[in-house]
């Protein structure tokens, strides 16, 4: 399997399980309706593990443009490969969002809350203060990517691979479990302000799908906020990569 296909499939699975749990909790007449934030955070942690598990051997399981850009800044990936990964991640996120809508379409039909419908695709801040939301996304993404790099470093040291020569994360299947737990922890501890996008593709791809689909009773796609879950994670990833280069 090519890295492009692996990133597409892995990101699609990430969104299918991740946005799927949001639908199960937020939409009317589902068996999981109003199950709460812990269920959503747990679902996203599992979503990351599943998507990464299925793609890790073929692409390193980035599934996140912020991580791919951070890998480039850290000197571990060429710009051409980074761009290929980002295109695959965006396409996979959009396809995953389409699958989620088709799966829950009858529940979208009976749900009156337009904001809840939007939340099944993308993020919104709990308090609409854009500078604070940007800060939260920067910190949340830093808290994701810097620990991932710190997990990678000892793995590469054990195998004797120079840190600047490693083309992918190379954590292995079992090594991905802590990444899923990390996302679960970020959701529990840092997710209450913005919904913790911490991934530009995870937010922007489904937001575009929300704008395109004929969802009954939907609101606008909140493009005025849409740059926050893109720019914040990219900045957080770059800061994580810079610090990692300083300490490695």
Mean pLDDT estimate for the chain: 92
Query: Is 80 exceeded by the pLDDT of residue 160?
Result: no
> Between 86 and 155, where is the model more confident?
86
> Between 237 and 171, where is the model more confident?
237
**Residue 158 pLDDT level (bands cut at 50, 70, 90):** very low
- In CATH terms, 3-247 corresponds, of 1.20.1050.10, 1.10.10.10, 1.20.1080.10, 3.40.190.10, to 1.20.1080.10
Identify whether the C-beta of residue 6 lies closer than 8 Å to the C-beta of residue 58.
yes
The pLDDT assigned to 175 comes to 66
3-state DSSP of 7-73: HHHHHHHHHHHHHHHHHHHHCCCCCCCCCCHHHHHHHHHHHHHHHHHHHHHHHCCCCCHHHHHHHHH
Structure tokens at 89: 């991640």
Structure tokens at 54: 């299925």
Query: Is 80 exceeded by the pLDDT of residue 108?
Result: yes
* 29-57 pLDDT per residue, tens: 999 999 999 999 999 999 999 999 999 88
Q: What SS3 state is found at 168?
A: coil
| % pLDDT > 90, the chain | 83
* 166-217 pLDDT per residue, tens: 434 555 555 688 899 999 999 999 999 999 999 999 999 999 999 999 999 9
- Global pTM value: 0.92
The pLDDT assigned to 172 comes to 59
**Residue 126 pLDDT level (bands cut at 50, 70, 90):** very high
Closest Cα to residue 208, out of 100, 134, 125, 97?
97
**Residue 75 pLDDT level (bands cut at 50, 70, 90):** confident
């Amino acid at each position: 399997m090519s890295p492009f296909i692996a990133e597409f499939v892995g990101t699609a699975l990430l969104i299918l399980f991740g946005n799927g749990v949001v639908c199960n909790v937020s939409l009317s007449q589902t068996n999981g309706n109003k199950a709460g934030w812990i269920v959503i955070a747990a679902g996203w942690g599992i979503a990351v593990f599943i998507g990464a598990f299925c793609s890790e051997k073929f692409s390193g399981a980035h599934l996140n443009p912020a991580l791919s850009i951070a890998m480039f800044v850290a000197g571990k990936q060429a710009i051409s490969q980074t761009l290929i990964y980002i295109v695959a991640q965006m396409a996979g996120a959009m396809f995953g969002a389409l699958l989620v809508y088709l799966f829950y379409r009858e529940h979208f039909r009976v749900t009156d809350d337009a904001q809840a419908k939007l939340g099944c695709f993308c993020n919104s801040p709990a308090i609409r203060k854009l500078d604070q939301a940007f800060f939260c996304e920067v910190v949340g993404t830093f808290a994701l990517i810097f620990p991932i790099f710190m997990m990678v470093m000892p793995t590469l040291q054990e195998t004797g691979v120079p840190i600047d020569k490693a083309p992918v994360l190379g954590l292995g299947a079992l090594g991905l479990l802590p990444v899923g737990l990390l996302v679960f922890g970020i959701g529990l501890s840092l997710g209450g302000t913005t919904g913790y996008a911490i991934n530009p593709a995870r937010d922007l791809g489904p937001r575009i799908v929300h704008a395109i689909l004929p969802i009954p009773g939907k609101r606008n796609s909140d493009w005025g906020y849409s740059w926050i879950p893109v720019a914040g994670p990219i900045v957080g990833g770059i800061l994580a990569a810079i610090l990692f280069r300083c300490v490695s």
